Each structure stands twice: as structure tokens, then as C-alpha cells.
Structure 1
Amino acid sequence: MTVNSSPKIGPVIQTERKARRLTLEALAGMSGVSKSMLSQIERSEANPTFAVLWSLTQALGLDFADLIAGGATTNEHDVIEVTPASHTPEIRSGDGLCRLKILSPPRLAGHTEWYAVEIAAGGRLDSDPHAKGAVEHFTAWTDGIIIRSGRGEAEVKRGETARYPADVPHAIANGGTETATGLLVLLYR
């Protein structure tokens, strides 16, 4: 590809579709893009819109960057993706007492997300309601965790997992005297 040429998206879509053993009809059903449009895209006879490409990448489980770069590795089962610690995104609370490291890949945002949570003594992570039906699963790696969801409250000890509605106001607090840690998984339904 030269600087002025566009990426060859059609062959990438076809390669990725075939690697997943999908027919044109199956991918059309998964993506909402018509079978005839898919065929034209794969043969580089159509110039798809961003919305069409987005639908295809979501259906194929591809990162948009992989599509532009020429596709994912030909055999996904042989790929081990390692994210350096310095590239792991982090969220900190305004008071600096709570830190969440975003461990899930960006393409899963809004579907399934997981975080390493660290809360200093006395810290509290308050959350507004997430989308209807959202549920959180918090596994405590240390003692001192208190979970609040709606009107409910529970202490979670090291090794225990709390599952609770996240479509209501909820909080994870450290009631102990030392830093508390755990794994938070957020599932959207």
C-alpha cells in the first residue's frame, strides 16, 4: 500500500470470514450487511461506509485497526497478545484513594469489562447506575471490602465473590486499615 492508496479491506474481510468458517449468508446475518453488499466489498467492487465496516468488525470480532492494517493473524489460536504494564489504562478517583486498571480489551467495552481494583484504607468507589440489567462480580483479593448495591450491603472477605445489580447506585468501599484489592467484572445484558 502506498501513502496515497486506500487499504485493501475487501480481501481482509474475506480472509477473516473464511478463517471463521462463515458463509457470506452467515456473516450477513451476524452483521446486518446484505449478502450482495458483502460480496461486492470482498471483491473490492464497493466502497463501504464507516458504519458498514463497524458492523463487520463487530460481527467478526476484529479490532478496527486490524482491518485497516490488513487483518488479524491468520491463526488466532497461535497468538498471545501481551499488553505491557505501562500501556494498561488506569482510572483514579478524584480523591486519589481508588485506582482501577482496565484489563479488558477495548473492543469489549459495553459488553464485558474487567478491572483490577485497589482502594486505600477509608476509600470508596461510588458508581452511578450502569445500563439496565448490568451486573458486577467483585472477587476480593484482600479483606476489608464492603459492597453496597441499592439498599443492600455485604462485607466480602479474601477469596469471596459478590455478585450484585449494577443498574442501581452502587459502591465498593474499603472498611479496613490497609489497602484492599480485588477483581471487578462488569457484565452488560
Structure 2
Amino acid sequence: MASSTNRRTAQSTAPLTSPTTPPRVGEQIQRLRAERKMTLDDLSRAAGVSKSMLSEIERDKANPTIAVAWRLTNALGVSLDQLFATQKSPETISVAGPHDIPTLDGNDARYQLRVWGPIELAGKFEWYELTLQAGGALVSNAHEPGTREHLTVLQGSVEVEADGATKRLKAADTARYVADVPHAIRNLGKGEAKALLVVIHG
């Protein structure tokens, strides 16, 4: 009988297949690689997987072992769970409830950011619901070169500062400004302010 150590080894090197239909992980790995603008050589080196094997996997000519899949997902910055979650058929309409939306609280700075954009677009195109309490401020360092922000005030009034310039905005006003410099959004009023913040990275 195999020892527990041998059984663990066998599990870690077993092909990622099911008794019925094997998962088509190759297409997902290729998509993730393309999204990150990585070449086959880039991912091969980062994951320690031969280029020929990677090519076979991406074309669904071979299924990676768990160990190989772990190295690939680690190099791509995703988890194994995320990789297999993408195997589900996409819904025509997917709905996220209030409790599914990530929220960032800047308690001391008196702001709240609700992350409305999907996580797969983070670092490319993001949108948030920004709530600023009276006296609250969202102060940011410079983003990547070429990044711009678009802020539409939904309630109250705010002041936007970018690269030393400032503008006051009231409800229904939209400011578009460079965000590859230090910038800030401040609520100088006495009541709560809300805004839609869209970030387009350079």
C-alpha cells in the first residue's frame, strides 16, 4: 500500500482531468497571458515551464498537471480556483448584489470607495462610487503615465486638485483631469458628497 507521502505526490502530479470532460484550461491560460501582454517566452521563463509544453497546453493538446498549473497561475498572478472558475459558461446577464461589491474605507480621511468595476479590468479601466463625508478627502499619488480620471458629482459639491490646479464642482458637473501627477478630491461642504469616479490607466 502506498504511503501517505506517496499518495500526496501522486495527487500533486495527476493530470487535471475529470472522468467525463476534461477542463479546457489552455484557452484560459492563453487569454490570461494575452491580457498581461506576455509572450510564450515570458510566461515560459516566469513559470519554469518549457515553451513547447506551454504551447501544447494553450492549444489544448495537453492538460497540465496540478504542479504545472500552479506554476503557470502563480506566474500569471491568479489562483488555481480563479483559473477553474473561468471554465463555467458565461451568463448572459450576471448580477452582483450590494454585498458582492468590494468597499474601501478611508476612515481617517472620511471617504468610502465602492468598487463597481470588474476585478479583471483593474489596472486598465476602473470605476467607483465615491462617498465623501464633510471635510473628507481622497488624496492620491501619481498613477501610471497617461492615466486620466473622470469625476461626475452625483450629490453635494467637491473640489478637484490636479498638478497644482483646482476646480469646484457641483452636482451634475464632470471634471476630466490628468492623474499621472499627485491629485485629490475634497468635500469642502457641510454635507455628504457622492461622485462617480472613472479611472482610465495609461
> Structure 1 length normalisation: TM-score?
0.72
Q: 1:44 and 2:62 equivalent? A: yes
CA apart distance, 1:32: 2.0
Q: 1:165-176, aligned counterparts within 5 Å?
A: 165-176=178-189
Flag the 1:168–1:43 CA change in 2: closer, same or farther, 3 A: same
Aligned to 2:192: 179
Distance 1:125 1:68, change over 3 A: same
**Residue of structure 2 aligned with 1:33, choices 40, 46, 50:** 40
Partner of 2:142: 129
How much does 1:79 deviate? 2.4
Q: Which residue of 2 aligns with 1:23?
A: none
The alpha-carbon distance between structure 1 residues 128 and 66, as it changes in their structure 2 partners (threshold 3 A), is closer
**C-alpha displacement of 1:67:** 2.9
Letter in 2 for 1:130: H
**Gap runs ≥5 in structure 1:** 21-26, 58-62
Backbone CA RMSD of aligned residues: 3.1
Aligned positions, number: 167
Residue 116 of structure 1 deviates from its aligned partner by 0.4
Q: 8 Å contact 1:16–1:71 — kept in the other structure? A: no
Structure 2 residue aligned with 1:68:
84
- The Cα shift of 1:149 comes to 0.5
- Please give the alpha-carbon distance, in whole angstroms, between the structure 2 residues aligned to 1:113 and 1:66: 20
Q: Answer whether contact 2:109 2:137 (CA < 8 A) is retained.
A: no
Q: How does 1:85-100 map to 2 (within 5 A)?
A: 85-95=98-108, 97-100=110-113
The structure having more radius of gyration, on CA atoms, is: 2
Assess, with a 3 A threshold, how the Cα gap between structure 1 residues 156 and 64 changes in structure 2: closer, same or farther: farther
Contact 2:134–2:187 (8 Å) recurs in 1: yes
Structure 1 residues 31, 127: CA separation in 2 closer, same or farther (over 3 Å shift)? closer
On the 8 A contact 1:114/1:186 being kept in 2, the answer is: yes
User: For residues 135 and 74 of structure 2, what CA distance do their matches in structure 1 show?
Assistant: 48
Aligned residues with identical type, % of pairs:
30
Against the structure 1 CA distance between its residues 127 and 16, is the aligned structure 2 distance closer, same or farther, given a 3 Å change threshold?
closer
Normalized against structure 2, the TM-score is what? 0.68
Unaligned 5+ segments in structure 2 are: 1-10, 42-50
1:80 paired with 2:117, answer: no
Question: What residue is the counterpart of 1:143 in the other structure?
Answer: 156
Could you tell me which residue of structure 1 aligns to residue 45 of structure 2? none
